[in-house]
Structure 1
Amino acid sequence: MTAGTMSHPQTGSRTGAGHDDVDVCIVGAGPVGATLACRLAVGGLRVAIVDRAALPPMEDPAFDGRAYAIAAGPRRLLEEAGVWPLLPLQACPIEEIRVSDGRPGEAPSPLFLEFGREDAAQPFGWMIEARALRVALNRALYAHDLVTVLAPEEVTVTRTAEGARVRTRSGCTFGARLVVAAEGRRSALRDQARIGITRLPYHQSGIVCAVAHEHPHNNRALEHFLPAGPFAQLPMAPTPEHPNLSAIVWSESDALAQRMVGLPHEAFAHEIQRRMGDWLGRVTPVGRRWVYPLSAQYAQRYFDTRMVLVGDAAHGIHPIAGQGLNLGFRDVAALSDMLIAAHARGEDLGAPALLRRYQARCRPANMLMLAATDMLERLFGNDNPVLRRARDLGLAGVHRMPALRRAFVRHAMGL
């Protein structure tokens, strides 16, 4: 059974990369795939990781406005994988979150939900610049003797019941007990394994950027629901140029999002201010502006012969709750725990029973999160006055129930 081709060739972190058999071959070295490789190597497994792009271990690109919100559970995973200590830039804790409802240019509803320091014994999450996480991941990959990096590289994977064979474009071949598809939403391995995918388009795009602002954020985040979609302000660590800095993520219709990111600097800042309000003073966009089409999708199953799906190859959700990458990290935590335990017992890492247990552990929770974010988007992403009143009352009701607030927090933190 043939399943998968990636694009681009070459190099490895060890001399002779590609000649020795490995326990696991991971295709895709984004945050999910790279973290899985590091976690498995810490657990004693031999890993090959393949990616289309080069992965220079010391790269430190310029600030580009993108950042990740890392929940408490995934942070623990990054620590166990040896990645967190290698972050070259400071992470910013999220210690307060205000959830409100309103319209652009108007004051938010007086009914709101607020999560504070009393709702958790630690920060709800940490904001990490995308460039910092990439640098840490690359350094960690090259630091492990048990990891072979093949990037940039193109490989062809052939899977049978007995095992998988991986062939690089340069002609090297090696065996693997298990192949992990971590190439993202357009996974070639998933498609070639004929694993069905269901997509839910939102006809929206997410705008991502960063803003400097006059007043300190005090580690406080804002989730402001607007008729066109959610608007989020997420606190970031200061830089030498910008002592007060936040990430911005907001949703608009596809056409309007494209118009927004094309606005002149002052007009773009004005649109952000209309949605965020004045609580941080005047805002100034910094770095690049990014636009991403928004949709949800889910794979019908998470495994095939000698192969499993992780991260966006298995599921993609609306960013309304900021849980997309954290869901992928939960896949990594579950799969790495199971593979390391199986390896210690001398079991077959590609055994169908083990892959089935991984699916049973992850897919129901992922589907529940997909359904919840889809419901939130449909409930909050409209201007129906009846629904607006109902959701405002709902937010205020949860705000008055500390036990329920803490339950929401623990689930979102991945604890």
Structure 2
Amino acid sequence: MNATDFDIAICGAGPVGTALALLLAKQHPHPDRIAVLGKNFDLARTEHVQGDPRTLALNHGSLRLLQGQLQAWPRRAAPMRTVHVSQQGRLGRCLIQAHEMGVADLGAVVHYDDLLEKLHARLRDSGVTLIPAQIAQANSAPGHMRVQHDAGQSSALLAIQCDGARPNGLRREYKQHALLTTVRASRPQDGWAYERFTAHGPLAALPHPDGADLYGIVWCNGPERSQTLAELPESDFQHALMQAFGERLGQLHTVSDRHLFPLAFHAGPSRLAERMLAVGNAAQTLHPVAGQGLNLGLRDVAQLAHSLAPWQSDCRQSPTPFLTRYARLRRPDRWLTAAITDTLPRLFATHNPLIQHACGLGLLAMDTLPLARLPFARQLLQGLRA
């Protein structure tokens, strides 16, 4: 008999932690030996919970995981079939298209709350143990982990930190905020998503799951400029947005509140202790350019579930070789994705005209040369998968 309360304790019940629990429960002979510690398990049945304003751009790899293995795809989703990348004030643009990549969709955009509600519904039917907790923190003990949480303390052979803790390691304050809002376009383009690099930061317009003529805006600027934009009268904000984005979608009219989120880069090791791993936001938090944060986290959990499958058949064996192998296999994808999302917004926002021209030429080269475009597109589409 196991001496611990659980075999695996997952600290965090967001999309990454929930997806990990569902994957592990499929393999474990006793799913109740897996504990998920987190909040909002009853999100769908709690009317007073304020809705999350975020929409999520899920790439093709994440779409396949959520639709296929997890069967947790939200009812509302806006497909992305073409991604248009451009630079304000410079020549050159690049199109990434689904048919060129051999897929029906590059990905899709969903509501954060819709995805979490669907994942939590699957979680309640999975047999895992749910422990409501605002905060869960794991600490090493001889041969196991102690997990402190709101209801007291639990013990587990392994602890996986998914959110609620910043990674310890590399850190960069971007001195930017992301402004989120929703707009209605007078000339919508079915299945098109846009990433536009401006002198202040990237500006994304993503298809919206609530309507074919709606787009989710993610506009990155310095903190003062972001605050000013958030407080502008509606007509002035729309004018500023049109100046930055252009008229590709016709006139843009805001249909929701504006929300600000500060941006920073954090990345640390996957292995936190002998019996503890970090995945998702606990391992890396990225700039939102290209929408890679959650997609990278979902690749983390897919690889971790695969790596832990032999250990879950007999949890009395040492987990060290399985955790070591997981960390080694994930390292290239994690650091390549982090490098791309960290470099792009800083490179395009430089005020050096030579670099600005070089960026424009780079987009033109990618658009005209498949050998330059396809590896980059493939990384955004599915990442490096072991």
Question: Given the alignment of the two structures, is residue 143 of structure 1 paired with residue 147 of structure 2, yes or no?
Answer: no
| Residue matched to 2:116 | 134
Cα pair 1:55 1:151 within 8 Å, conserved: no
Partner residue, 1:40: 24
Indicate the residue corresponding to 1:199 in structure 2. 171
- Identity percentage over the alignment? 30
Letter in 2 for 1:94: M
Q: Does 1:217 align with 2:189?
A: yes
* 3-state SS, counterpart of residue 49 of structure 1: strand
The residue that corresponds to 2:253 in the other structure is 284
Match of 1:362 in 2: 330
1:137-194 deviation line (CA, Å, top 9, x unaligned)? 221111212x1111145556443241224455445x543221111124x34xx6xxxx
- Structure 2 equivalent of residue 314 of structure 1: 283
Question: Residues 2-28 of structure 1, C-alpha deviation per residue, up to 9 Å, x if partnerless?
Answer: xxxxxxxxxxxxxxxxx9832211111
78, 82, 89: which is aligned to 1:92? 78
Q: Identify the residue that residue 157 of structure 2 maps to in structure 1.
A: 177
Give the 3-state SS of the residue equivalent to 1:364 in structure 2.
helix
Partner of 1:380: 348
1:307/1:63 Cα in 2 relative to 1: closer, same or farther (>3 Å)? closer
Secondary structure of 1:382's aligned partner: coil
The answer to whether the 8 A contact 2:97-2:106 is kept is no
8 Å CA contact 1:65–1:286 kept in 2: the answer is no
| 2:99 corresponding residue in structure 1 | 118
Q: In 2, are the aligned partners of 1:220 and 1:235 still within 8 Å (CA)?
A: yes
Letter in 1 for 2:55: A
Report the AA paired with residue 194 of structure 2. L
- SS of the aligned residue for 1:288 comes to coil
Instruction: Name the aligned partner's letter for residue 95 of structure 2.
Output: E
Deviation at 1:352, TM superposition (A): 2.1
Aligned counterparts of 2:99 and 2:149: Cα–Cα separation in 1: 53
User: SS of 1:140's equivalent?
Assistant: helix
Moved more, 228-237 or 53-62: 53-62
1:80 CA displacement: 4.6
Distance of 2:315 and 2:4 partners within structure 1: 20
What is the alpha-carbon distance in structure 2 between the residues aligned to residue 287 and residue 160 of structure 1? 49
Deviations 1:244-278 (A, max 9, x none): 11111111011111111111222222222222222
Residue number in structure 1 paired with 2:14: 30
Q: Which residue of 2 aligns with 1:72?
A: 60
The answer (yes or no) to whether the contact 2:203–2:219 under 8 Å persists in 1 is yes
Q: What is residue 8 of structure 1 aligned with on the other side?
A: none
- Give me the whole-angstrom Cα distance separating, in 2, the residues matched to 1:366 and 1:140: 27
- By how many angstroms is 1:217 displaced? 2.2
User: Which amino acid in the other structure matches residue 322 of structure 1?
Assistant: G
CA positional deviation for 1:297: 1.4
State the partner residue of 1:264: 233
1:265 counterpart letter in structure 2: E
Q: Which amino acid aligns with 1:91?
A: A
Find the aligned partners of 2:253 and 2:318 in 1 and give their Cα distance: 51
Matching residue of 1:326: 295
Alignment CA distance shift 1:396-1:157 (3 Å): closer
Unaligned runs of 5+ in 1: 1-18, 104-108, 191-195
1:287 is paired with a residue of what secondary structure? coil
* Secondary structure of the corresponding residue to residue 257 of structure 2: strand
* Structure 1 CA distance for aligned equivalents of residues 252 and 137 of structure 2: 48
**Which moves more between the two structures, 226-235 or 212-221?**
212-221
Residue of structure 2 equivalent to 1:106: none
Question: Please, which runs of 5 or more residues in structure 2 have no aligned partner?
Answer: none
How many angstroms apart in 2 are the aligned matches of 1:307 and 1:280?
Answer: 47
Q: What is the Cα deviation at residue 83 of structure 1?
A: 4.5
CA shift for structure 1 position 53: 4.7
Tell me by how many angstroms 1:407 deviates. Answer: 2.3
Name the Cα RMSD after superposition: 2.4
In structure 2, do the counterparts of structure 1 residues 179 and 225 end up closer, same or farther at CA, with 3 Å as the change threshold?
Answer: same
Q: Are the counterparts in 1 of residues 133 and 151 from structure 2 also a CA contact under 8 Å?
A: no
Aligned residues: 376
Given residue 26 of structure 1, which amino acid in structure 2 is its aligned partner?
Answer: I
SS of the residue corresponding to residue 216 of structure 1 reads: coil
The amino acid that maps onto 2:307 is M
| Contact 1:311-1:328 at 8 Å conserved across structures | yes
Aligned-residue offset at 1:374: 2.1
2:180 to 203, 208, 215: 208
The aligned counterpart of 1:251 is 220
Matched, 1:56 2:43: yes
Residues 57-105 of structure 1: CA distance to partner in whole angstroms, max 9, x if unpaired?
54577876420011111222223552434x2x321111011111114xx
Distance 1:157 1:312, change over 3 A: closer
Cα contact 1:226–1:382 (8 A) shared by 2: no
Q: 2:198 aligns with which of 223, 226, 230?
A: 226
In 1: Cα distance, 2:271 partner to 2:186 partner: 47
